[in-house]
Structure formats: C-alpha cells, structure tokens
Amino acid sequence: MDNRGFYALFIFLGSIAALFLIAPLFKLFWGVGAAGLTEAFGDTEILSSIALTMRTALAAVAFVALTGIPLAYLVARHDFPGKAALESLIDLPVMVPHTAAGIALLAAFGNGWVQRMGLDFVDSTTGIVAAMAFLSAPFLINGAKEGFKKVDVRYEHVARTLGAGRFGVFWRIALPGARQEILNGALMMWSRALGEFGAVVIIAYHPMVAPVLIYDRFNSYGLKYSAPVAAAMILVSVVVFILVRWLNNRSNRI
C-alpha cells in the first residue's frame, strides 16, 4: 500500500472514531438548544447539583493528591517486596464494576465506625467524595508515578550531597519535575470523578450530584427533562477543563 492509500485508510477509520465521539454530544446540544440550556442554568436544583458535583470531585482529587502522590513517589523510586502486588491493587478500582465498588465502600465505611468519628457516610458528601476518590484515584497516582520516573534520580542524589533533606529534595526537585504528569493525572481523575454514578448512587442518592440527578429525571420524566441537565453539566465541565488546560499551558510558557 502506497502513502496515499495508507493515509486514506487511516483518515477514513479516524473519521469514524471522531464521528462516534462527537455525534452524540452534537445531537444532545442540538436537541436541547439555547432555550433549553438557558432554562437549565436558571434551575436552582440543576445549579446546586452541578456545584455539588464540582466540589466533591475537587475534594476527591485533593484527598488523593495528599495521600496518593507520596505513595506514587515511593513506588517510582524504590523496589520492595510486594511492589508488583501493590501496583496491581492501585489499578484495581479501574476494573471493578462501579456498583460493586459502592457496595464494598458501604460495607467498609457505612457500618458505624465512621459515624463515631463524627462523619456521616450514607447520604452525605463524605460518601460521595469517597466513591469518587476510590474509583478515580488510579489516574492521579499512576500519572504521578510516571512523572517521578522521568525525573533523573541523580539530581536528587546531588541535592542530598549538598545538604538538602529528603523532604526538601522531594519538594524542590521531584515534585516540580513531575508537575506536568501530576496535573494531567489530576485533570483525568477530576474528569472521571465528575461522571461517577454507579458507586455514588449506592452510597448517596441524596444529596444529588449531577449524574444522579440526570438518572432521576430520566426515570421520572424521560429524555426531555434529563437532556438539559446532561447538556449543562457537560458544558460546565468542558469550560472548566479548557480553562485549567489554558492556565497550565500559559504557566509553562512563562
């Protein structure tokens, strides 16, 4: 096959993939229209649901960043017994059915001991954050791990010989060196958390995050009343995602 045939085939196949990804979103926004979107953004229930989804997804990212980035650094920098098993466990939530993950989280944290710590779990933002964090954490942890692997360990050794402490080396060399991969992982985790439904609906039907509200309105009223919620949530997510990407690219150029 010559170059012309090669590119023609790949353009054809790529166009199918692009159409498959774009067509449902185009159809959704076309069906809802500007009037439907305006009405959706005037609905306080929809706005509250989207705001709750954004807040809980951000809280999930913050929790995993605080706990998962140190874990990623240890896995990237050290070999130890059970490392392969640990890496498999980190990836496991991606493969677990989301409703099964919700049941597992409910069994682990919904039996009273969390409440004795002063936190509600069932039908609470704590439960929502836990569900989002559990199922989307691998994106951030693995992104950070790959970022740390790209940082030349010799820079850390040199800093240590010059008197820098372990935490200083991590903060000034390893973390900035892996910044791009960590941010990409955080964005992927945040995006995945925004769409979490299966585990969340098991743990917390109320308060309603946007995916649960979409499901509730679809079950109660059908496509006509659920489509504007979906369109509004997608639009807000895309705008925030593009803004964060733009700010990150701008900071990299400075």
105 C-beta neighbours (distance < 10 Å), count: 21
Residue 9 placed within a domain = no
Residue 136 placed within a domain = yes
Per-residue confidence (pLDDT) for residue 93, from 0 to 100: 92
Residue 8 placed within a domain = no
Residue 10 placed within a domain = no
Domain, as residue range, for 240: 35-253
Residue 135 placed within a domain = yes
- The total domain count for the chain is 1
CATH number at residue 175: 1.10.3720.10
pTM for the model: 0.89
Per-residue confidence (pLDDT) for residue 1, from 0 to 100: 61
Residue 247 placed within a domain = yes
Residue 82 placed within a domain = yes
What are the average pLDDT values for consecutive 10-residue runs of the chain, which has 254 residues?
A: 83 95 92 91 94 95 96 93 92 92 91 75 92 96 95 87 86 91 92 92 93 94 91 90 78 61
Contact 140, 65 (CB under 8 A): yes
d(CA 231, CA 236): 9
d(CA 89, CA 71): 12
Per-residue confidence (pLDDT) for residue 254, from 0 to 100: 54
Residue 5 placed within a domain = no
